[in-house]
């Protein structure tokens, strides 16, 4: 017998398929058989074994094909938060500051720049211009040389001097404590406002969405959106309010330490068996196309 040819087996009913074109009587029960879905081995090996094991991926699939899987399930989100607490218990803002004003300036300067670089620049400018009034009295060009190394220095100079003038003219020289007021300040959008409100005033009015929060929230399927404002709204729905501030700090630390943009260090990640991201570098669970980088 040629290879690959299997003799046809007689049907159990004794009839061959499609012998009759008559519809089944309504009393006949048709048993539905669930399609076989290959699932990966979910057993998490000890770390040493995991490191030694070759890279392996489970069959690609989408979240919708995994029966009963809900990335936003309270238990799953709770487990993510628990593991983040264990891994980053003292997560906080990495920008050095001694006042709300210093934090506001540092956050404006941190756009497209590392916190380490900003932390080199801010002590110099705060020594040179120790008050909000001193910044407000500057021309933007006067600040440019001091902040040049943070990049986009012309726009940042305008924002910092503009912010100082706004505080002097409208807020008595003080950084306001509400989102609406903060958003009136030049150079301040929701991310900066959330940093100042959460880190300095301990007010949870939203979730800081920077590049790390944006990337990792998508990898963890906490959002499907690209737009930071929509991501923030999604996170505010699934993260309990009392976690909004620390969650962002933890995710930012996680993004720097392990869940980096290129080649995340999944083998060392405490969230590994909860994460189905399409660009994981190592996985013990199914990969979901919907969990995009």
**Residue 99 to residue 115: CA distance in whole angstroms:** 17
Instruction: List 61's β-bridge partners, or say none.
Output: 288
- With CB under 6 A, what is the number of residues at the site for ligand SF4? 14
Our CB check for ligand SF4 shows the closer of 132 and 291 to be 291
Report residue 99 as tokens: 């006042």
Whether the Cβ atoms of residue 248 and residue 208 lie closer than 8 Å to each other: yes
For the CB of residue 273, give the shortest distance to ligand SF4 in the complex, in Å. 8
Our CB check for ligand SF4 shows the closer of 137 and 278 to be 278
Of the residues 187, 206, 228, 264, which one makes contact with ligand SF4 according to CB under 6 A: 264
The answer to whether 252 contacts ligand SF4 (rule: CB under 6 A) is: no
For the CB of residue 113, give the shortest distance to ligand SF4 in the complex, in Å. 23
Our CB check for ligand SF4 shows the closer of 109 and 258 to be 258
The answer to whether 164 contacts ligand SF4 (rule: CB under 6 A) is: no
User: CA torsion sign, 230 to 75 to 80 to 41?
Assistant: negative
**Residue 113 to residue 92: CA distance in whole angstroms:** 18
**Residue 108 to residue 152: CA distance in whole angstroms:** 11
Of the residues 156, 166, 280, 288, which one makes contact with ligand SF4 according to CB under 6 A: 280
The answer to whether 213 contacts ligand SF4 (rule: CB under 6 A) is: no
The answer to whether 287 contacts ligand SF4 (rule: CB under 6 A) is: no
With left for phi above 0 and alpha for psi between -120 and 50, is residue 139 left, alpha or beta?
A: beta
Quick one: which of 189, 133, 125 has its CA closest to 157?
A: 125
* 107 to 126: interface string for ligand SF4, x by CB under 6 A: --------------------
The answer to whether 272 contacts ligand SF4 (rule: CB under 6 A) is: yes
Our CB check for ligand SF4 shows the closer of 3 and 262 to be 262
Of the residues 121, 193, 275, 287, which one makes contact with ligand SF4 according to CB under 6 A: 275
SS3 state of residue 127? helix
The set of catalytic residues is 191, 210
H or E stretch covering 143: helix 140-147
Our CB check for ligand SF4 shows the closer of 190 and 276 to be 276
For the CB of residue 14, give the shortest distance to ligand SF4 in the complex, in Å. 54
Whether the Cβ atoms of residue 271 and residue 110 lie closer than 8 Å to each other: no
User: CA torsion sign, 255 to 90 to 285 to 227?
Assistant: negative
The answer to whether 266 contacts ligand SF4 (rule: CB under 6 A) is: yes
**Residue 278 to residue 288: CA distance in whole angstroms:** 6
The answer to whether 253 contacts ligand SF4 (rule: CB under 6 A) is: no
Measured CA to CA in angstroms, residue 278 lies from 122, 259, 272 at distances of 39, 13, 13
Q: Which residues bind ligand SF4 (CB under 6 A)?
A: 216, 219-220, 258-259, 264-266, 269, 271-272, 275, 277, 280
């Amino acid at each position: 017998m040629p290879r690959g040819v299997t003799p046809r087996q007689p049907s159990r009913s004794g009839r061959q398929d499609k012998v009759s074109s008559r519809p089944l009587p309504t009393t006949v029960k048709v048993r539905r058989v669930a399609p076989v879905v290959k699932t990966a081995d979910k057993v998490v090996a000890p770390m040493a074994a995991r490191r030694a094991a070759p890279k392996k991926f489970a069959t690609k699939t989408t979240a919708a094909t995994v029966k009963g899987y809900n990335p936003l399930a309270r238990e799953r989100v709770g487990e993510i938060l628990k593991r983040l607490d264990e891994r980053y218990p003292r997560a906080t803002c990495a920008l050095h500051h001694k006042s709300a004003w210093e934090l506001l300036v540092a956050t404006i300067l941190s756009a497209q720049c590392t916190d380490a670089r900003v932390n080199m620049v801010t002590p110099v400018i705060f020594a040179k211009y120790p008050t909000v009034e001193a910044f407000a009295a500057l021309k933007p060009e006067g600040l440019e040389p001091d902040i040049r190394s943070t990049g986009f220095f012309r726009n940042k100079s305008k924002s910092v001097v503009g912010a100082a003038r706004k505080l002097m003219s409208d807020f008595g020289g003080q950084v306001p404590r509400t989102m609406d007021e903060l958003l009136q300040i030049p150079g301040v959008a929701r991310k900066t406002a959330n940093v100042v409100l959460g880190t300095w005033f301990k007010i949870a009015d939203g979730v800081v969405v920077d590049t790390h929060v944006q990337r990792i929230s998508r990898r963890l399927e906490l959002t499907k959106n690209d737009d930071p404002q929509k991501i923030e709204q999604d996170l505010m729905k699934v993260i309990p309010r009392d976690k909004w501030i620390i969650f962002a700090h933890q995710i930012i630390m996680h993004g720097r330490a392990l869940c980096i943009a290129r080649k995340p260090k999944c083998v060392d990640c405490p969230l590994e068996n909860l994460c189905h991201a399409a660009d994981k570098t190592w996985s013990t669970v199914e990969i979901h196309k919907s969990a995009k980088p």
